[in-house]
Amino acid sequence: MERYNFKTVEEKWQNFWQKNKSFKTGLDKKKKKFYCLEMFPYPSGKIHMGHVRNYTIGDVLARFKTLQNYNVLHPMGWDSFGMPAENAAKENNLDPKDWTEKNISVMKTQLKKLGLSIDWDREISTCSPDYYKHQQIFFLELYNKGLIYKKENYVNWDPVEQTVLANEQVIDGKGWRSGETVERKKLSQWFFKISEFSDELLNGLDQLDKWPNKVKVMQKNWIGKSFGCEIDFKIKANTSVDKIKCFTTRPDTLFGFSFLALSVDHPISKFYEKDKEYQKFKQQCSKTGTTEESIAQAEKIGFKTDLIAINPFDEKSEVPVYFANFVLMDYGFGAVFGCPGHDQRDFEFAKKYNLPIKTVVKPKDFKGEFKVKDEAYVGDGIIINSSFLDKLSTPNDAISKAIEEIEKRKAGKKKINFRLKDWGISRQRYWGCPIPIAYDDNGDYITVPINQLPIKLPENINLKTKGNPLNHQEEWRKIKIDGKIYKLETDTLDTFVDSSWYYLRFCSPNNKSYGYDFDEIKYWMPVNQYIGGVEHAILHLLYSRFFMLALKHKNEKFVSKEPFDGLFTQGMVCHETYKDKNNNWLYPDEVFSDDGKNYFKINDKRERVIVGPSESMSKSKKNVIDPEKIIRSYGADAVRLFILSDSPPEKDIQWSEQGMVASYKFINKFWLLHKKIIKKIKMNNGSIDTYDLDVFTNKLIKKISTNLEKFNYNVIVANIYETYNFLIKEIEKDYKSVLLKENYLKILTLMMPIIPHIISEAIKDLDYNKKLAWPIANDKYLQEKYVNIVVQINGKKKSLIKIEKNLPDIEVINKIKEDEKISNILSDKNLLKHIIVKNRLVNFIVK
């Protein structure tokens, strides 16, 4: 029998799908829709295994929903602005545009070879003026809504990328892409007012019940809502300062107040700039790096001012004011009131500077006198030593009473504070979306009128200049607005802006006048299922949620709220790491083994390989497998089958050559089985009723359908193997041909989402030309005639008895007692009672 030739079959069907536009999005708006979206890739050169996994998972879902007769939107595009293009172009003297376009064409070809059911007619690319024109229009819109502003502040400066990073892009004090230590620099920057929506972004999370809890928790922590109050502390001193504002969540501990601490960036610091000691202190603070270790180990240090702060609850209580290294300017008001008894950080500070440590909270059940000694007591309890707050329980009663009292004394008011900061969107880079702002000679700016958009990037420019290349484009910068010459803004937008609305663009990718068509997004949005890596849990997903709220703001027509109804975060693809004895990484391709040990070849000699732990595939560790090569050797179906098998999609998967080979063998085995079945059907001489097969098929429909809904794709692969194991035995029976064919078509349809090429070819052999539909399980076959009853004695399984379904209890018991083994056990025991779980189990309780 001829062997399955995946090459010709896969190519044939991929051509067929392309020619027939098989995955073109339907236009019938009366049909139920399903918007399936995977995070679009950055066109870095070639696809990697992470892409294969991500897009296979999405494709299975899209194909399943299509078979279920949904109108499916399954598009693909390119997140094509960004620094790698600029850097690569700089190195090779290319235009970033050419580099990007070349990569897109390579990756598109590769994705097609996976057999993805993508509507390529909707392809978009964020670096195309057709796309970023609309982004510039959105910029103007948000600007006019007051959601964009410019301010000068300290920024995270990446010295390698020569650009500003958002807080979220700084990981352990290092740039998220460059890995270089980030510097503090003062710059004038554009900001999105994301903090305006803090509460909505937080509350919206509650509606997202199809999101992983993990992601919601991360966003919740990031938004960081805390309840408390602001307090104006009166200042006694000879300077012009008369009060300092603080934010606190613990006004109930105000009687434990023993110092006030300020950030070195606090406005008051200007009175101390000339003080030599202060300068020294400030420098010391800046030296405390931003790395993980330095933060963890940083000693709490302070600089004592001549200011004295007064406790609003006790005018006689006066405490010193310090500058302290642990106070951040961009949270609260850059000032904290120190209560060493009940805050560990304040406690350490007080110990160092010998400040009083007063105990004002005592644990609820503590008997006798409670005193803070070796560490702060931060738990709940009863207020003590606090005048009118005494005996109140904290947090609840004491905090509200304290706030009430503060408001009565006009010393402050109730306040909610968020950790979420505004999103800095300026980047000093060429390869990004230009910001539609122009400056006059005085440095005052205006927005560029809509009819002059898009502002296109200049082409063929010199990138090897220092800093932002656009700064050197004098001609390009000139723009005439209302007859007057202005100079364009040279900052470009953070690429996270590009990906914050692309899901809207996919709904109407060719709409010329505006970024989206209202009717289209009304039908398609929200995305029903969004699939991507968990590394975007905060950045991209929070920004996208913000963007929807910003578009909706003051726009009654825009009804959608959350962009992504369902979110699925897939795990990473891992591989063992290999090194030689000099600690140089080795590619898996270089490693071979013949006697159970691993070697690689060097100068015609073999040398032992040191095998390291399995880690997420990364170019730097060389533990990568090239998808294209794998597809070439085993075919797309086998790759899809393997990448879905073994591990659940949300968990990391180990790449294994053996596993890959097993999937490949299965594809071939399956084809041989298929040919046998076709032969049986063609012979058309069977006489056996298909009851057993019907039962199997209908159970399978139920299993695979529910497993698809629950993303249990690894179990579906197991279901497919089970199906093979079942059919290879069943095929010996001479089933009635028509019925066999009917069952077999259903079974093939169930496998279509996973291995579409071979299944398409197999269905062709059935001479079936109608539109495929997802089979529905017939309840008749799910109700079995016989059931296996587990017989337990005192909860332990003793026997398994096959009886008719739905027998009355008494008959079940009688049948079981006929069982020799059970009756033997029961004969010398005292039967106390029995528990019957219908059609499943009988438990005898004996003594």
Binding residues among 632-661 for RNA as defined by CB under 7 A: 645-648, 651, 653-654, 656, 658-659, 661
Q: Name the segment binding RNA (CB under 7 A); options: 92-100, 128-136, 487-495, 716-724.
A: 716-724
CB 191 within 8 A of CB 148: yes
Interstrand relation of 591-593 and 598-602 (parallel, antiparallel or unpaired): antiparallel
Name the 3-class secondary structure at 234. Answer: strand
Q: Which is nearer to RNA, 222 or 501 (CB)?
A: 222
Q: How far is the CB of 224 from RNA (least distance, A)?
A: 5
Count of residues in contact with RNA, rule CB under 7 A:
78
Residues 250-309 that bind RNA (CB under 7 A): 250, 263, 288, 292, 295-296, 298, 300
In angstroms, the CA 188 to CA 250 distance is 35
Q: Name the segment binding RNA (CB under 7 A); options: 133-141, 542-550, 681-689, 708-716.
A: 708-716
Provide the token pair at 145: 């809504």
Q: Per rule CB under 7 A, is residue 717 in the interface with RNA?
A: yes
Phi, psi angles (nearest 5°) of residue 330: -95, 20
Q: Per rule CB under 7 A, is residue 712 in the interface with RNA?
A: yes
Q: Per rule CB under 7 A, is residue 725 in the interface with RNA?
A: yes
User: Strand pairing partners for 532?
Assistant: 569
Binding track, positions 512-551, relative to RNA; x by CB under 7 A: ----------------------x---x-------------
Q: 573: closest CA among 641, 645, 624? A: 624
Q: Which is nearer to RNA, 258 or 473 (CB)?
A: 258
Residues 809-828 that bind RNA (CB under 7 A): 821
**Which residues contact residue 393 at a Cβ distance below 8 angstroms, ignoring those fewer than 6 apart?**
364, 380, 381, 382, 383
Q: Name the segment binding RNA (CB under 7 A); options: 44-52, 66-74, 352-360, 835-843.
A: 835-843
Q: Which is nearer to RNA, 44 or 288 (CB)?
A: 288
CB 131 within 8 A of CB 124: yes
CB 360 within 8 A of CB 294: no
CA angle, 612 then 617 then 622, to 5°: 65
Q: Name the segment binding RNA (CB under 7 A); options: 77-85, 130-138, 745-753, 839-847.
A: 839-847
Q: How far is the CB of 568 from RNA (least distance, A)?
A: 14
Residues 96-135 that bind RNA (CB under 7 A): none
Q: How far is the CB of 644 from RNA (least distance, A)?
A: 11
Residues 198-217 that bind RNA (CB under 7 A): 213-214, 217
Residues 141-170 that bind RNA (CB under 7 A): 167
Q: Which is nearer to RNA, 278 or 445 (CB)?
A: 278
Q: Which is nearer to RNA, 230 or 565 (CB)?
A: 230
Q: How far is the CB of 829 from RNA (least distance, A)?
A: 13
Q: Number of helices and strands (H, E) in the chain?
A: 26, 39
CB 152 within 8 A of CB 416: no
CB 47 within 8 A of CB 41: yes
Residues 750-789 that bind RNA (CB under 7 A): 788
Q: Name the segment binding RNA (CB under 7 A); options: 319-327, 476-484, 497-505, 584-592.
A: 319-327
- Interacting residue with RNA among 800, 811, 823, 829 (CB under 7 A): 800
Residues 394-453 that bind RNA (CB under 7 A): 417, 419
Q: Per rule CB under 7 A, is residue 837 in the interface with RNA?
A: yes
**Which residues contact residue 576 at a Cβ distance below 8 angstroms, ignoring those fewer than 6 apart?**
588, 611, 612, 613, 614, 623
Q: How far is the CB of 463 from RNA (least distance, A)?
A: 31
In angstroms, the CA 116 to CA 107 distance is 13
* Share of the chain residues as helix, strand and coil, in percent rounded to the nearest 5: 40, 25, 35
Binding track, positions 349-378, relative to RNA; x by CB under 7 A: ------------------------------
On the question of a cis peptide bond just before residue 648, with omega within 30 degrees of 0, the verdict is no
CB 416 within 8 A of CB 248: no
CB 298 within 8 A of CB 345: no
Q: How far is the CB of 298 from RNA (least distance, A)?
A: 4
Q: Name the segment binding RNA (CB under 7 A); options: 122-130, 199-207, 709-717, 755-763.
A: 709-717
In angstroms, the CA 623 to CA 638 distance is 21
Tell me which DSSP letter residue 636 carries. Answer: H
